[in-house]
Chains A and B, each alone.
Chain A
Amino acid sequence: MAEIATFSNATQVLEPFKGVKKVTIEEYFSSGHRTCQGCESALVMKLMVKAAGPRTIVLGSTGCMYVANTTYYSTPWVVPWMHTQLGSSGSAALGTAAGLKALMKKGKMKAEPINVIAFCGDGGGADMGLGAISATLTHKEYNSLILLYDNESYANTDIQLSGSTPYGAHTTFSPPGKARRIMHTRWKKNTAGMLAAGHPECRYVATVCASYAVEMMNKVRKALSIGGPTFIHSLDPCPKGWDYDPMLSHELGELAIECGIFPLYEVEEGVVKYYGKTKAIVDGRPRKPVREYLLKQGRFAHFIEEDLEYFQGKVDEMWTKWELPGVACFKKDGARAVAG
């Protein structure tokens, strides 16, 4: 079977939406899901696939966005959707893209650019599936997007801590008690920065937060049209896991950015670009104190002053001592970590 010479690695042309009024009205993630009230991750799903459009295949790894979203007979997915294993988002993206490519290249399927998106939670992506995501980001001849929706816990299994859970948070595996107030003493992994730094041929890595919906959708569109494998990390407030009033989801997303806890940026062809309030912080605008964010959430209700100071110190370090503030944790010459 001969290779068809005209085959190219083309992607869809997806121009950025120029403002909220220009966003398309068609929904590809509709009713039928059963997530909690105020679930930001469900909004991320909706915006992600709205940005991608109808010629898209979505693969979803195990987690809330599988279990709560695709109860048999009531799927919300208008585009083709398939489950993949907890640690398999990278492999799902790669396998789907490779299958399509082979069939089109050999003339067994009509050639057209089809978006391939695989999503994963923080447990599935930043912990279990990290190796597979890393591998996929080196396969530059296959176009795909891996989107990690980070609700900062293994939420679906009843809120257990993951490598992406913030320091000190109360989860069912880290309950504060008399003998130990802080059970979870690890600092959150820097997943997007790590993946951007570690994969020199990956053309696009970005962080997003659905509180800034148009920006988020435009990053998805860029990730899908730039070519090759790409990665987006989304911070998603989760009322159940973070323990707050569901109406605060949007506000908590904003606060995470304004406090400098979760920076919004993209790394396109190796060039770092900060976005929105994060850019303002980089340009010198003061960050809001982290306590404004932390004390709105029940998962930090056990924090005492000392914990808040420690948390603030670590975030300060990210902005004052990192060579690339908020992105890469290599320290500037002479800088040392805050004692902890």
Chain B
Amino acid sequence: MTVATQAAPAAIQEQEMLISGSEAIAEALTLADIDVVTAYPIRPYDTVMQAIAKKISGGKLVAEYIVAEGEHSQFEIVKHASTVGARVFCGSSGVGWAYAMECLVVTPALRVPMVAMVGNRALDDPGAFGVEHNDALFVRDLGWLLCWIDSSQEALDTTLIAYRVAEDRRIFLPIAISADGAFLTHSQAITKVPSKSLVDKFLPPYHRGDLQLHPDNPITVAPQVNEDWVIEIRRQNNAATERAYTVIEEAYADFRRVFGRGPENPWFEEYMTEDAEIILMGMGTLSLPVKVAIRKMREDGKKVGLIRLRWFRPFPYEQLARALRKARAIGVIDRDYSFGSPFGSGVVATEVRAALYNAEHRPPLIGFICGLGGREVTLEDVYKTAEICYSAAKAGKTERATYWLGVRE
């Protein structure tokens, strides 16, 4: 799947800016010309809403900016705005995302292509601002497409891709873009911001077609169906999620064609995996300490690589099984928890284990729970994961399936 890239013209049509992950998303929303956005304060995602408010007051974007009285309303308002044909944006963090849960449930069921940002944050109680991925993972079974990003550039690009995928008539599902609280929402980096005309080549307008609620199209949406129809409707949702495998690949290929950059493999980033004996895995900004640690370990001759998952839903299980085929052991670092799960593993480790069940080559897989509540994932933590993976590789089995790292005893 190689696509001819036209790097030269694209370069002229992009300018570089020093912006945070949240600001990068706001740039993308301006380029996508969103129509309705709803805000409610909670750290750390609210930085995106502050950035959008400035875009609107500064005349860069024309959109209805509604400050809701709670996250439940925040998500309901945009859900309804989307059904009349408006391109919408919303978001939240931690318990705010939880407060909206009822609305998060109905949005994919109604086939509303909302794009939301989750500024990942630990859930209460006790109170903590730092990152944990459990908030966004609440909706993993419901038809939300979920992805994690690790840089401002990826924040901007993924936002444009998200609208393109969500609003594809074959999909019509909401997408949540997860950004690690503080590490990404608040950290600035040089980011390429494309021109509007370039974006228009990539992102067509949102058309709801015969699902649009309008007096010219007098439909009844979401009637009471009960056992007569509900399972058929669920299957339709599932089919849309499965079509997302194709639509996401198309969107990334087209992104590369138009902008002359972007990853070949939408599903995950591979870092030094070519010859890797040990493959570490994780989502979000833990890629930074892991990459630094890998470079150091390589100096000592340890062949360690990283797979950073971008898309969690749909889950790239076939692509992963292929990419993990040569590993002697796999270490999955979860910035989440799943109490009472198989092997007490975090959510990602459990999914990867399931993805490998049918694989011919099933190396030992160790789950690591690390960096909860925004605690830093240190180089020492990463060395430890690699060390444990190496001894599992040697023994051909794991002593323990799950370790908690960087925890005070």
Contact = CB atoms under 8 A, between A and B. Distances in A.
Interface residues of A, dominant DSSP: mixed
B73 A132 contact: yes
A91 to B, nearest CB: 4
Contacts of A114: 214-215
A83 B70 CA distance: 20
Q: Which of A81, A90, A102 has the largest count of B CB atoms less than 10 A from its CB?
A: A102
Interface residues of B, number: 43
Contacts of B64: 98-99, 101-102
B215 A55 contact: yes
A102 B73 contact: no
A89 B36 CA distance: 18
A71 B223 contact: yes
A103 B229 contact: no
Interface residues of A, number: 48
A109 to B, nearest CB: 7
B278 to A, nearest CB: 47
Contact of B77 (A80, A95, A103): A95
Interface in A42-77: 54-57, 59, 66-67, 70-73, 75, 77
Contact of A131 (B70, B81, B223): B70
Contacts of B76: 84-85, 88, 91-92, 95, 132
B215 A56 contact: yes
Contacts of A229: none
A83 B36 contact: no
A1 B223 contact: no
A108 B85 contact: yes
Interface in A89-116: 90-92, 94-96, 98-103, 105-106, 108-109, 114
B81 A102 contact: yes
A72 B223 contact: yes
A72 B228 contact: yes
Nearest to B68: A135
Interface in B222-254: 222-225, 228-229
B218 A80 contact: yes
A94 B214 contact: no
Interface in B58-84: 61-64, 66, 68-70, 72-73, 76-84
A90 B217 CA distance: 23
Contact of B213 (A57, A87, A101): A57
Given A81-B221, A85-B102, A99-B85, A1 B62 contact: yes
A92 B35 contact: no
A2 interface: yes
Nearest to A79: B218
Contact of B222 (A2, A80, A83): A83
A148 B23 CA distance: 41
27 contacts: A1-B61, A67-B224, A72-B225, A72-B228, A80-B214, A80-B221, A81-B221, A82-B80, A82-B213, A82-B222, A84-B80, A85-B76, A85-B103, A91-B68, A94-B73, A95-B77, A95-B81, A98-B66, A98-B77, A99-B81, A99-B86, A101-B64, A108-B85, A131-B70, A131-B73, A132-B70, A132-B72
Interface of B: 33, 35-36, 61-64, 66, 68-70, 72-73, 76-86, 88, 102-103, 106, 205, 213-215, 217-225, 228-229
